Structure 1
Amino acid sequence: MTDSSGVERATLLGLNTASTVDAIGMLDGIYEHSPWVGAQALAVRPFRSLAQLQLAMVDVVQRSGVEAQLALIRAHPELAGKAMVDQSLTAESTHEQSKAGLTHCTPAEFALIQQLNTAYAQKFGFPFVLAVRGPRGTGLSKRTIIETLQRRLRHPVDYERAEALRNIHRIAQLRLNDKFGVQPTLGNACWDGLEALAKWTDAGYEGTGQLTVTYLTDAHRACAQHIAQSMREGGFDEVHIDAVGNVVGRYLSDVEGAKTLLTGSHYDTVRNGGKYDGRLGIYVPLTWVAQLAQAGKRLPYHLEVVAFSEEEGQRYKATFIGSSALVGAFQPAWLDLEDADGISLKAAMQHAGLDPAAIATLRRDPAQYLGYVEVHIEQGPVLYERNLPLGVVTSINGSARFAGAMQGLASHAGTTPMGQRHDAAVAVAELLLFIEKRAAQDGDSVGTVGVLEVPNGSLNVVPGQCLFTIDLRAPNDAQRDALVADVLAELARIAAARGVTYTLEETMRAAAAPSAAPWQAAWARAVSQLGLPVHAMPSGAGHDAMMLHTAMPQAMLFVRGENGGISHNPLESTTSDDMQLAIEAFDALLREVANSSFTAA
């Protein structure tokens, strides 16, 4: 195949039907000086998609053993290193380093990178490898490259070997795109939309590089207006901002009496958060509708996309304000809540031009809806470590939270024998270790002691008091309740054995939200159609889907996060290629729902 510029491009059909020798040649240069990767991957031909081919090569590397992996890493040149200076880089590496501006470093930048490269090689025994074209494919800044090198120097050796391989796989993915003339056009559009939305941040965070958008601030309302305008420009038939600040867009069916499929996520953020938590679930359907509208196509059902105004509970001590209104769970008492400046929720709504009296009218009639689906960045390391772009959510974990205070006896650290102490902090530490061990027995259960504080603690005083929290989560309520019962029983045993007392307050208990079986299966089929393995997984974090679950069937799709899957953090990231796959899976799901044989219940 020849593209518009006259460059000959490979095709999957050509690769699938070529001789082994010719096929190996077609994959030359994808993995730096390592044709064995492509050669072994060809054993599982034919490939249905470029993503399937790429994951086949990932699998080859993962199964190759440590020595082969180290050889692969060492086949890569240092960034801005000797090979660049003497112009012995491969064409692919030259292109990539040029995209990131590494071929035009200042003397100071070059010297710093060389110093960091040397330190890295001395610590790990292999060169620093980074996909310098970045998550959008257009190139990272030199500052980002240097900061990443500095950050990764702190990793343990085994972790960093895996990190180098993940970057090599990303490099290979971008090279495959180039060789096959494929670009994630919709993924790029989604990426660009999220970048545009991220330009607004709350007062006091401007110019800091920190993204903070809390409920009904000026930045929050600017985001709502931007999303609404993006919906209008994207071809939505109806767009409005409702009484709690949700941005609602409807793409209407031409079928009389059609029901509605609901999707979306939230656009508020935590303080100093990331660009993709929640917002990805808005821009995936927004991007998809734009291309559908451009083609003049309609669905046999209405599609309603809701950018929920609040999910994080950052400004007011209430969460899911946006989605709770849609299921009739908005609590009128929330209107009296005050933020740190003494501004009530009701006053903030009125200042934003919203009508609190109209909140009750936002409740949706479940009989008019097929269900709710949500695309969300994973916010964890599972997909990242498995080198998988998408995951199908089985359930949103049920949770229980507690705030406790352990009371012991403060005494002199030097004069109190170990066997005669009543150490409140040690008692909590013993509980913490039990929670770690007990939660691990369930596989998908998790337990966390996030606060461990000795008030007015002193170096030479046995702690007389220790404040602590407990956060327990599991994929279903029975599993969560069993975990809670065991932890509370162990807490009582520890206190009795150590001669201490405690108080414990349950601060929250949320039911699990299992995915509706037909919708979970539909997501699985959508992922499989892309040639990807289906990885089913629970969600440990809460989502707007938990609220919608109380009114209609729901199911979620996770998208891999970069940088270890970190979230609620400026390093939160994903690639436009993974966004593209999420949009294609969304498309496959919606096309299946359009089929008269699909049963939503």
Structure 2
Amino acid sequence: MALTLEQLNTADAASAVQMLDGLYEHSPWIAQSALSQRPFTSLAHLKHAMVRVLEQAGVQPQLDLIRAHPELAGKAMAAKSLTAESTNEQNKAGLTQCTPEEFAHIQQLNAAYNARFGFPFILAVRGPRGTGLLKQEIIDTFARRLSNHPDFERAEALRNIHRIAEIRLNDKFGYEPTLGNDVWDWQEKLAQHSEPGYIEKGQLTVTYLTDAHRACAQRISHWMRDCGFDEVEIDAVGNVVGRYKPAQDGGKYLLTGSHYDTVRNGGKYDGRLGIFVPMACVRELHRQGKRLPFGIEVVGFAEEEGQRYKATFLGSGALIGDFKPEWLEQKDADGITMREAMQHAGLCIDDIPKIQRDAAQYLGFVEVHIEQGPVLNELDIPLGVVTSINGGVRYVCEMIGTASHAGTTPMDRRRDAALGVAELALYMEQRAAQDGDSVATIGMLQVPNGSINVVPGKCTFSMDMRAPTDTQRDAMVSDVLAKFEEIAQRRCLQTKQELAMKAAAAPSNPALQTCWEKAVAALGVPVYRMPSGAGHDAMKLHEIMPQAMLFTRGLNSGISHNPLESTTSDDMQLAVDAFSHVLAQMSAQ
């Protein structure tokens, strides 16, 4: 018999502790302490309360908890002395049916891990979907995490323990993140489409107007029709557009969506999460036969990453009238122009100006996106409300000194270009840290024609600087450029710099941001506000209408643009619930 929150909230202390028995391996004190915060408004509220208890407990209790867990496919499993919960989890992952070779390999990994960290390897083997990881995924993760820093690995073990507890709690309460599972499944199915040279390796690559890209567009459009959208089309640049009409003709629309193209060998959720979350919401409205005072327009933007052609934000840019005709003559690596690719895909180039949106017909733009960073993951918070998309500048630079013999040139006579850039890089790190949420990066650094025995006479490098407001960004850029010149003068070097890109910050619309905040609070999880360091389609729509974004936590340190990019169906469910709450708020206005 599944528990209910009402039963938990009203039970006496001893009974409540018993209800939550087994969530944390041999550690009932975590749930016991969290129960002091009753009543809980949601399972997410309870989950986060337990996260905070462990966070505040200190290092030694955390280590004790980790050490209370059995090894994967270890001695306890062989002796059949696992807890019922652990037995169920290891069985679902197939660990109870290991071949002798697999069992021996896992034992070697267990021994190496324990020797390095002093505690057992912890992994939520039921995985992000709750249905169980493949054995090879488990072994690969085991091997990868062996190289982590001990402090990081302790935190990663705790994050996996919280995920284990989350799934066990779901089981106790008979809770299934049904819509989150659907969103997860859509993304898994869409990831079956990838380009030649990548698909054979199990890698995901979908660039603008390739066969894989066009297959994705068709699949999204079919799913939109299945969800009950009134109108579905693939527009003149390849955007997939679904419109769910308002209760009365003439009503405005809420615009939402994200991109379905990927970087090369990328992740499954970057962009695509922002298409499927609102699709799930529209499907539920359709199932209920419900219309809102406004319509919902979901756009799967055809291009955001700039991988095949140098035309980043092409899909969202076209909607605001920012499609540059000269892009049509760009050639990809195979010499195919964008014009030829669009004609081959059956797109009507002459219709591109017609898809520009009239901002007066829209309430604004909202976007759900995986965070693509480590912050929410490290805080163990499932959702983040975006305050601004950082403005950024990029420079391509040179530091020029004198190449000379590495053995005969005294240290006080050198004009070393590499050391000049090294000093600048360290200053950029310090300067960005002063602002807290500014970032500065030298991502490319080369010594042209460098030799092992030659003092570098020239360095070419890039600078990327971003901040939540243009004022903050510009102040940092000014300081860095001034330091660039000061270092050069002091070291008798010369400089060159070329501005390669400048993008304005896109602060969230206060009203829309407040909608996201109220939605997150209603779910019973903390309202965490944060800037977005990455660029998003919302940046383009910001130029003509109000916008605000919601982030979902990523796993594996929040890594993105990488096959390890991941998030859970439980967090996806929270994103769907938050989006539905925003729709309800806007309907009541």
Shared fold by TM > 0.5?
yes
Residue 51 of structure 2 is aligned to residue 58 of structure 1: yes
One-letter amino acid of the counterpart of residue 34, structure 1: S
In the alignment, which of 170, 173, 195 is matched to residue 180 of structure 1?
173
Task: Map 1:356-367 onto structure 2 (within 5 A).
Answer: 356-367=349-360
The aligned residue for residue 520 of structure 1 is 513
Aligned residue among 204, 208, 221 for 2:201: 208
Does residue 241 of structure 1 match 2:234? yes
Does residue 1:168 correspond to 2:161, yes or no?
Answer: yes
Q: Secondary structure of the equivalent of 2:365?
A: strand
- Give the Å deviation of 1:288: 1.6
Q: Deviations over 1:503-532 (max 9, x none)?
A: 110000000000000000000000000001
Is structure 2 residue 493 aligned with structure 1 residue 500?
yes
- Cα shift at 1:287: 1.5
Unaligned runs of 5+ in 2: none
SS at match of 1:207: helix
Q: Of the candidates 395, 407, 421, which is equivalent to residue 414 of structure 2?
A: 421
What is the aligned partner in structure 1 of residue 581 from structure 2?
A: 588
Q: CA deviation at 1:206?
A: 1.9
* Aligned residue number for residue 376 of structure 1: 369
Q: How does 1:118-137 map to 2 (within 5 A)?
A: 118-137=111-130
- How many residues were matched structurally? 589
Residue among 84, 87, 94 paired with 2:87:
94
1:216-231 equivalences in 2 (<5 Å): 216-231=209-224
1:67-122 Cα offsets, whole Å, 9 max, x none, are: 10000001100000011001000000000000000000000000000000011011
Structure 1 segment 7-156 matched on structure 2, within 5 A: 8-156=1-149
- Residue 330 of structure 1, CA deviation: 1.1
- Residue equivalent to 1:4: none
Structure 1 position 401 matched with structure 2 position 394? yes
Q: Which moved more, 1:88-97 or 1:343-352?
A: 343-352
SS in 1 for 2:498: strand
* Structure-to-structure mapping, 1:334-353, within 5 angstroms: 334-353=327-346
Question: RMSD across aligned C-alpha pairs, in angstroms?
Answer: 0.6
1:560 aligned to which of 546, 553, 577: 553
Distance in 2 of aligned mates of 1:373 and 1:289: 14
Give the whole-Å Cα distance in 2 for the aligned partners of 1:376 and 1:580.
13
**Which residue matches 1:260?**
253
CA distance in 2, matches of 1:530, 1:360: 41
User: Alignment partner of 2:248: what SS?
Assistant: coil
The letter of the residue matching 1:144 is: E
Give the share of equivalent positions with the same residue, in percent. 66
Paired position in structure 1 for 2:482: 489
For 2:286 and 2:69, how far apart are their aligned partners in 1?
44
Match of 1:136, SS state, is coil
Q: Residue in 1 aligned with 2:192?
A: 199
- Hey, what does 1:540 align to over in structure 2? 533
CA distance in structure 2 between the partners assigned to 1:368 and 1:387 by the alignment: 39
Gaps (5+ residues) in structure 1?
A: 1-7
Map Cα deviations across residues 450-475 of structure 1 (whole Å, 9 max, x no partner): 01111121111101111100000000
Instruction: Write out aligned runs for 1:302-321 (5 A).
Output: 302-321=295-314
Q: 1:32, 1:198 → 2: CA distance?
A: 35
Give the letter aligned to residue 202 of structure 2. Answer: G
The residue aligned with 1:436 is 429
* Corresponding residue number in structure 2 for 1:5: none
Structure 2 residue matching 1:317: 3-state secondary structure? coil
Q: CA deviation at 1:311?
A: 0.2
Give the C-alpha shift of residue 238 in structure 1.
0.2
Q: Distance in 1 between matches of 2:339 and 2:506?
A: 30
Partner of 1:476: 469
Partner Cα distance (1:552, 1:338) in 2:
32
1:582 Cα deviation after fit: 0.3
Q: How far did 1:557 drift?
A: 0.1
User: What residue in structure 2 maps to residue 300 of structure 1?
Assistant: 293
Return the alpha-carbon distance in structure 1 between the equivalents of residues 560 and 208 of structure 2: 19
For the residues of structure 2 that align with 1:216 and 1:528, how far apart are their CA atoms?
A: 40
Q: SS where residue 528 of structure 1 aligns?
A: helix
Deviation for aligned residue 1:256: 2.8
Displacement of 1:428 in angstroms is: 0.6
Residue 254 of structure 1 deviates from its aligned partner by: 2.2
Deviations 1:339-364 (A, max 9, x none): 11121111111111011111111111
CA distance in 2, matches of 1:256, 1:438: 53
Q: TM-score, normalised by structure 1?
A: 0.97
What amino acid is the match of 1:386? L
Is 1:447 matched with 2:440?
A: yes
Q: Find the counterpart in structure 2 of residue 322 from structure 1.
A: 315
Matches of 1:184 and 1:292 in 2, distance apart?
18
Distance 1:150 1:505 in 2: 43
The 1-side partners of 2:201 and 2:284 are apart by 35
Counterpart code for 2:164: I
Per-residue deviation at 1:383?
A: 0.2
Question: Which sits farther off after the overlay, 221-230 or 327-336?
Answer: 327-336
Runs of 4+ aligned residues of structure 1 deviating over 6 Å after TM superposition are none
